[in-house]
Amino acid sequence: MTGDSKIQVSMEFGTKLTPSLEKPAVDMTLYRQMIGSLMYLTASRPDIMFYVCYCARFHENPREPHMVAVKNIFWYLKQTSSLGLWYPAKSVFFVQAFSDADLGGCGLDQKIITGGCQFLDGKLSS
């Protein structure tokens, strides 16, 4: 993503979403539905993956700033609807996927570290 992308309206460089407990709460069901829809879209729009996962952290107690950030992601998707990964129905292509996990190997806090990548016809797609 470029630095001038509209998705960064509420998440500019250096800005962090916080629990924001002093802000008004929003409808938790609606927030979770919106996050779920966005998670589904990340399969064809990897450019939103980081932002969607960042907003998903607050699904237990969503507040107004979190909802604004999620709405900005939808606004970005509307403005860039021509972008995405398109898979023709009758084409043949080769897919490779690699993943790795280090179960508790982090020396600081013993957390699990995972990673992965997918290649489509030898080209990195996510």
3 pLDDT band, cuts 50/70/90, is very low
Q: Encode 5-15: b = buried (16+ Cβ within 10 Å), e = exposed.
A: eebbebbeeee
107 Cβ neighbours under 8 A, 6+ residues apart: none
> Which residue, 10, 3, 27, is CA-closest to 70?
10
Task: Please give the model's pTM, rounded to 2 decimal places.
Answer: 0.62
| 91-121 pLDDT, tens digit each | 788 889 998 887 766 666 667 778 888 888 8
